[in-house]
Amino acid sequence: MIKHFNKDLNSDYFNEIYDFKGQWDVPSRCALKIVRNNTQTVVIATELYAENPGTSVTNFCAPLATLICNDFNIDHEKMVFIVHTPDTKSKLSFMNENFFHVEFTWDGAKFMDPKWAQIDRSKVDELIGITQKQ
């Protein structure tokens, strides 16, 4: 299904493809991993670049987080939202893998005003319970 990334996308950080209507209702797509525990629900939304026909995760961050909350019955107060930009195997450094934790404000019905903070992969692994490989 994810033709371009089927060999390259790190399966630690996605377990399904999520189709959504992006900006101006354009059909759009990201990869998704949702990890729930008692205190929080970690959502990792991965940019699919060429495999996404529409709006990017970053460009649609707050509406997308709201959609995911509603579609997966996630308590908005417990959601930890991570944007994952995967490694595209380019020699250009700005195409490397990165993770960003996103903070939003909640207006009573939807998320607004995304603010991104880059985090290390080890922090993501800790959040989703992946044991560091030696």
What distance in Å separates the CA atoms of residue 2 and residue 54, rounded to the nearest whole number? 15
Closer CB to other proteins, residue 36 or residue 116?
Answer: 116
Q: How far is the CB of 129 from other proteins (least distance, A)?
A: 25
- Give the neighbor-by-neighbor strand order of the sheet with 111-119: 16-21, 27-36, 41-46, 79-85, 98-106, 111-119
Quick one: which of 33, 56, 81, 124 contacts other proteins (CB under 8 A)?
56
The token pair that represents 61 in the structure block: 């961050």
Q: How far is the CB of 92 from other proteins (least distance, A)?
A: 6
Coil vs helix vs strand at 123: helix
User: How big is the site for other proteins, counted in residues (CB under 8 A)?
Assistant: 23
Binding mask of the shown chain, residues 8 to 37, with x at each position contacting other proteins by CB under 8 A: ----------------xxxx----------
Q: Residue 18 or residue 47: which is nearer to other proteins going by CB? A: 47
C-alpha 104: how far from chain center: 14
> Nearest to residue 61, comparing CAs of 114, 20, 16?
114
Interface with other proteins (CB under 8 A):
24-27, 47, 49-50, 52-56, 58-59, 83, 85, 92-95, 100, 116, 118
